[in-house]
Amino acid sequence: MPRIDLNVPFSEKDDAKQLGARWDANKKIWFIPEHLDPSVFRRWLPQALDIGIRAERYFIAKTAKHCWKCGAVTRVFGVGVPPGHETLELDEEEEGTYCWCASGQPSFVHYVTDLLPKVAARIGGLSRYYRVDFSKTTQSSYWMNHCEHCGIKQGDFEMYCEPSGAFFPMSKEAASLIVLEVIAEPFGCNGSTSYGDHFFDFMRWF
């Protein structure tokens, strides 16, 4: 996993050290040890790695759907977080500041960007059809599925936000078609969560 360096001002070095950051004397830079959760160091992370959702573990979701373009059945992948995960939200009591808020529900995460490097490496190895690509609809790049047959993009809105989408089951039977693999490693990303009855109890966990 690539090392994550930090942008720590000299005046904040003691704070970074107390949280577990280490000093590279040769490169003159603070960095995150591999065993620590990078989201703890959010305020010093490089601008390109902006974490808004974090968890002590996560799950990879797998199912299949009909491609909207060619109609063939294609495998699709996604990620989710268990109960206890946290999202960065505006603080209602202190204007202009953010705080981490815990959720008691599991959630799929869609429009995913800025994955922690170790998570990105694992997810990138799932399939060459699940990768970062640009969406004209959202005018942004995120981790998205592509049809294994025709290569067309399978947007997140239809799969996660539309009832009966691949990762928005509306019945126990539909939920049972989704396989969830639990990964016991820290998770962090930017993206959107969705709550409600997604029938998680009826999905196949392992």
- Averaged pLDDT for residues 98-124: 92
- Tokens found for residue 141: 């790049």
- Locus of tokens 């196949």: 204
Edge-first strand listing for the sheet containing 130-135: 130-135, 140-146, 153-154
pLDDT of residue 1: 45
Summarised one tens digit per residue, pLDDT across range 50-82 is 788 999 999 999 999 999 999 999 999 999 999
Read off the pTM.
Answer: 0.77
- Is 161 exposed, middle or buried (CB count within 10 Å of its CB: 0-12, 13-18, 19+)? middle
| Alpha-carbon gap, residue 14 to 179, rounded angstroms | 44
Any idea what DSSP says for residue 60?
A: E
| Alpha-carbon gap, residue 46 to 3, rounded angstroms | 12
- Tokens found for residue 44: 């010093």
Summarised one tens digit per residue, pLDDT across range 135-159 is 998 888 999 999 999 999 999 999 9
What count of other Cβ atoms lies within 10 Å of the Cβ of residue 71? 11
pLDDT of residue 55: 94
Alpha-helical (H) ranges within the chain are 13-19, 117-124, 156, 172-175
